[in-house]
Structure 1
Amino acid sequence: MIARVINVLGGALLVASIGCAPPATDPNKGNLTLGAVQTRLENGKTTKAQVLEWFGSPNIATKDRNGEVWNYTRQGTATEVSSSHVGAWMLIASGGSSTGFSRSGSYSFDLLIRFDTHDVVVDYKVLQTAF
């Protein structure tokens, strides 16, 4: 009986994990992290074409007589779940109770890039918040 429950549960977890898999994305675009920004952007050297290749299209672009400013914004929530080292069979046997915790929070990441009139990065700024 327990073996059948574990097989059914394993199949359900497999189906659930396939259904929750993130869509395939181009690994060269959208890798917008502080580390990626700091290692790739160089004032006076990085071009607009390189920024497009690395981070994709900006959320907002504004232009003035000194050049252009691109704004990339990412917001989301993150959840951390921790539980004791109890196997799935123990959770079933114990009626689904577990010892553990979960916590969640929100974050925002803003990248502002200023280009000169020759489409080269003049300056950039990163603003990060977590709450």
Structure 2
Amino acid sequence: MYKILLSALFVLSLSSCNSYKYGTEGNAQKSNLTMGIVKSKVIKGETSQDEILKLFGSPNLVSKNKSNLEVWSYNRMSVEQKAGSTDFFAGERASQSSSSRSFDLIITFDANDVVSDYSVVATAF
């Protein structure tokens, strides 16, 4: 009986060693919203709204600035969590860790619906 209980605890301790991903990276197709794509494809004075839509899809937010020009905002966020494990034989516990990344792209269009300016904010914590 003791061996069965010990074996069950061992299997449970191994099953808690998995790594989990949440957010867009873990369960959706890969996004084009990367620094490399933005720098190579978004050109001030040349790239149109239609080209932006083809590259990144619909924006998360559409607004107007003080000059009444259209501003599109895109955001991609991902969280990766790694579950801790417990070693029942040694009596030790490992902690759980997580990391988050955020990528924001803000595009301002001119009166002809062409990119006049853009900014990128990328954070990791």
1:32 is the counterpart of 2:26: no
Distance in 2, matches of 1:22 and 1:35, equals 22
Deviation at residue 104 of structure 1 after TM alignment = 3.0
Q: Structure 1 residue aligned with 2:119, among 106, 109, 125?
A: 125
* CA 1:80–1:50: 2 relative to 1, 3 Å: farther
Is the CA contact (8 Å cut-off) linking 1:66 and 1:116 kept in structure 2?
A: no
Cα offset, 1:63, TM superposition: 2.1
User: Which 4+ stretches in 1 moved above 6 angstroms?
Assistant: none
Identity %: 44
In the superposition, the TM-score normalised over structure 1's length comes to: 0.60
5+ residue gaps, structure 2, are 1-25, 84-95
> Could you say which structure has the greater relative contact order, defined with CA pairs below 8 angstroms and 6 or more residues apart?
2
Over the residues paired in the alignment, what is the CA RMSD in angstroms? 3.6
The whole-number CA distance in structure 1 between the counterparts of 2:44 and 2:82 is 36
Alpha-carbon distance between aligned partners in 1 of 2:34 and 2:97, rounded to the nearest angstrom: 22
Structure 1: which 5+ residue stretches go unaligned?
Answer: 1-20, 82-101
Residue aligning to 2:52: 51
Question: Within 2, Cα distance between the matches of 1:79 and 1:120?
Answer: 39
* Pairs within 5 Å for 1:3-42: 22=27, 25=29, 30-42=31-43
Deviation at 1:80?
A: 7.1
Aligned equivalent of 1:70? 72
Alignment length (residue pairs): 101
Change (3 A) 1:75 1:22: closer
Counterpart Cα distance in 2 of 1:109 and 1:103: 21
Contact 1:107 1:130 (C-alpha < 8 Å) held by counterparts: yes
Aligned-pair distance for 1:22?
4.0
